[in-house]
Amino acid sequence: MNFKKVVVAGGGVLGSQIAYQSAFWGFDVTIWLRSEASIGRATPKLARLKDIYVDTLEAMKTSTVYPRGFATDKLSDEEIDAMKERAIKAHDSLTLTTSYEEAFKDADFVIECIAEDPKQKIAFYTEMAKYLPDKTVIATNSSTMLPSTFASYTGRPEKYLALHFANEIWKNNTAEIMGHAGTDSKYYDEVVDFAKAIHMVPLCLKKEQPGYILNTMLVPFLTAAEYLAANDVADPETIDKTWMLGTGAPAGPFRILDIVGLTTAYNIVIMKPEAKDPNSNAGKIAAMLKKYIDEGKTGINAGEGFYKYK
Amino acid sequence: MNFKKVVVAGGGVLGSQIAYQSAFWGFDVTIWLRSEASIGRATPKLARLKDIYVDTLEAMKTSTVYPRGFATDKLSDEEIDAMKERAIKAHDSLTLTTSYEEAFKDADFVIECIAEDPKQKIAFYTEMAKYLPDKTVIATNSSTMLPSTFASYTGRPEKYLALHFANEIWKNNTAEIMGHAGTDSKYYDEVVDFAKAIHMVPLCLKKEQPGYILNTMLVPFLTAAEYLAANDVADPETIDKTWMLGTGAPAGPFRILDIVGLTTAYNIVIMKPEAKDPNSNAGKIAAMLKKYIDEGKTGINAGEGFYKYK
């Protein structure tokens, strides 16, 4: 893997984290943003990440379990201090630009993290292709779309695939890697190596799968739990307790839903056509979630969802 | 809850454990068995449980985590020795009989653990009803059937419900409790109290639900994982790693399938009509499981399933 210059397109929650983590582990990182307003929104996110990285690293001095995206083996205080310095340098090293030419003209690797809107993604790939050198490999971080949808717009379908991160990537360091049928394994392997280089655990898919691995299992599991509560078979606390006692898991489905966010869960269920029928299971689940959402109980970030957090 | 005399009908894996655990916690327990041959099969199971109880209790002296069906708070060696004596007494106190009259004539509570065959269950309930006094409450431990199917044959539908245990109940101490529409809450509550008295965690369902709470979530979750492997999206190890890293769970779906047993998983999937089509998802899952089963890799009890255990 010869990636040196990495460009992250988009400065949202994940884009800013991916850019920061890549810079922290030594890559030359540029963040391409759509507008000056986007730069204005990304800048405080990156400042906040600097604080999080420095504080989290400092806390490692008195902890036995480290955030896996930072380290797994025990480190000395001196080693941790050196990492804190690197975290500060990483912040200062980031280049933010709205210029396609500046961002992409000598990029080795682009990670696309723009809005989950096919039209915006197609317009972006089409424009970017005009500036990219031949060598550039491109990955999308899309959670919901497939690389085959966009491959033809990149000008290099064989160098295009998906690299999907989880929120708080310095702790939740999974990277699901998924090509489309036309992805060349040579570039797939380079992206696997890149994931390892920024201390992610690469989780390799052998073919395209909507939802990747994790969401393919998580969605039917959470839907079954929502069904039980929406049909008043049992209450969320009982359902969570059953799952935890039955499988040894540290959290049940409603605790997970609070982390995912009830609005996301609601948006998933109303995509089903039968959700329009209030007597269908999807309709009952949508009604249950909407009741919580209307009360402001959208999950852990709101301080309350199925559980209270403050 | 005034249960004193508890009758367990059936001496299979769960029946013998439920009988033992109930006797261990002070109930007067009779095991009703269909035939002398059934007594011959149950007797060594109970002797083996005596060894397991005594050995497991002894091991608690040097452990910080106890099997939850025995204790949760730290105990002294003397307290543990007293429990070991109770475990031995429990074994010797069990009455085994093939006589309906002897078993049921003054039973307070019957737990039905006979074969998962509706015809056998109906014949059993119909015959038992001739001997039971009015007071007797009846629970079924059926994993796959609903109490409403059998309530009318018990002669006391209002005193009939489901009480569903997990294997190795001294460790996995969940008790899912589920009435049918005609179950009287007074008797439901008595069964909740009984579950607590034998150190189970009662998990209360408010209405009938095939698969109770746990299997309603577990089956679609495991099916999604099986789908990913059977379609060669990713291998079992990668799928398990993704689930464990993504949710913090101690085991992924293929580790759980090894515990459940691949034969059980196979029997569940071939019940779907589309499993007959080898190109359907159910058909692909069935073929994948059958390949392991044909090689003798049926799970942890066989020493190998998706993983090796010896």
Tell whether the model's pLDDT for residue A310 goes beyond 90.
no
Distance CA B282, CA A167 (A): 33
Structure tokens at B278: 């080898």
Task: Kindly provide the ipTM of the predicted complex, given to two decimals.
Answer: 0.92
A221 has a chain B CB within 8 A of its CB: yes
Read off the tokens for B217. Answer: 């979530």
Task: Enumerate the β-bridge partners of residue B304.
Answer: B299, B308
In this predicted structure, which of A228-242, B223-237, B265-279 has the lowest mean pLDDT? B265-279
Q: Tell me what the pLDDT averaged over chain B comes to.
A: 96
- Give the list of residues 6+ apart from residue A193 with CB closer than 8 angstroms, or none: A1
- pLDDT confidence band for B52 (50 / 70 / 90): very high
Q: Is A178 helix (H, G, I), strand (E, B) or coil?
A: strand
pLDDT at A233: 98
Average pLDDT (A171-188) is: 97
DSSP chain B: ----EEEEE--SHHHHHHHHHHHHTT-EEEEE-SSHHHHHHHHHHHHHHHHHHHHHHHHGGG-SS--TTT-SS---HHHHHHHHHHHHHHHHH-EEE--HHHHHTT-SEEEE---S-HHHHHHHHHHHHTT--TT-EEEE--SSS-GGGTGGGTT-GGGEEEEEE-SSTTTS-EEEEEE-TT--HHHHHHHHHHHHHTT-EEEE-SS--TTTTHHHHHHHHHHHHHHHHHTTSS-HHHHHHHHHHHH--SS-HHHHHHHH-HHHHHHHHHTSGGGGSTTSHHHHHHHHHHHHHHTT--BGGGTBSSSB--
**Per-residue b or e along B68-89, where b marks 16 or more CB atoms closer than 10 Å to that residue's CB:** bbbeeeebeeeebeebbebbee
The two three-digit tokens of residue A190, written as one number? 């380079």
pLDDT for residue B310 is more than 90: no
CB A85 within 8 A of CB A93: no
* Amino acid B301: pLDDT: 86
Q: For residue A137, give the 3-state DSSP assignment.
A: strand
**Cross-chain Cβ contact A218/B247 below 8 Å:** yes
Contacts of A205 in chain B (CB under 8 A): 233-234
Inspect the interface and report whether the beta carbons of A217 and B228 lie closer than 8 Å: yes
Q: Does A168 touch chain B (CB under 8 A)?
A: no
Distance from CA of A223 to the nearest CA of B (A): 8
Decide if A172 touches B, using CB distance below 8 A: yes
CA A20 to chain centre: 13
Residues of chain B contacting A227 with CB distance shorter than 8 Å? 216
**Closest CA–CA distance from residue B225 to any residue of chain A (Å):** 6
Q: Which CATH number does A215-300 carry? A: 1.10.1040.10
Chain A residue nearest residue B243, CA to CA: A214
Running DSSP on this structure, what letter comes out for residue A170? T
pLDDT digits (tens, 9 = 90+) for B136-180: 999 999 999 999 999 999 999 999 999 999 999 999 999 999 999
Cβ atoms within 10 A of the Cβ of A145, count?
15
Question: Taking residues B96-115, what's their average pLDDT?
Answer: 97
> Least CA distance to A231: which residue of chain B?
B207
The whole-chain average pLDDT of chain A stands at: 96
What tokens were used for B145? 């059937």
Identical fold for domains B5-204 and B214-301, yes or no, is: no
Q: Which fold has domain A5-204?
A: Rossmann fold (3.40.50)
Asked if A234 reaches chain B (Cβ–Cβ under 8 Å), the answer is yes
Q: Which residues contact A117 (CB under 8 A, 6 or more apart)?
A: none
Domain covering B214-301 assigned CATH 1.10.10.60 in the classification: no
**Segment B28-46 mean pLDDT:** 96
pLDDT (0 to 100) of residue A301: 86
Query: If you write DSSP's letter for every residue of A231-248 in order, what string do you get?
Result: TTSS-HHHHHHHHHHHH-
Q: What percent of chain A has pLDDT over 90?
A: 95
Summarize pLDDT for A210-226 with one digit per residue, the tens: 999 999 999 999 999 99
The answer to whether A202 contacts chain B (CB < 8 Å) is: no
**Minimal C-alpha gap between B161 and chain A (Å):** 15
Q: Which residues of B touch A176 (CB under 8 A)?
A: 242
Query: Is the CB of residue B210 less than 8 Å away from at least one CB of chain A?
Result: no
Q: pLDDT by residue (tens digit) across A42-74?
A: 999 999 999 999 999 999 999 988 999 999 999
* Secondary structure of residue A224 in the 3-state scheme: helix
Query: How many whole angstroms separate alpha carbon A238 and alpha carbon A306?
Result: 12
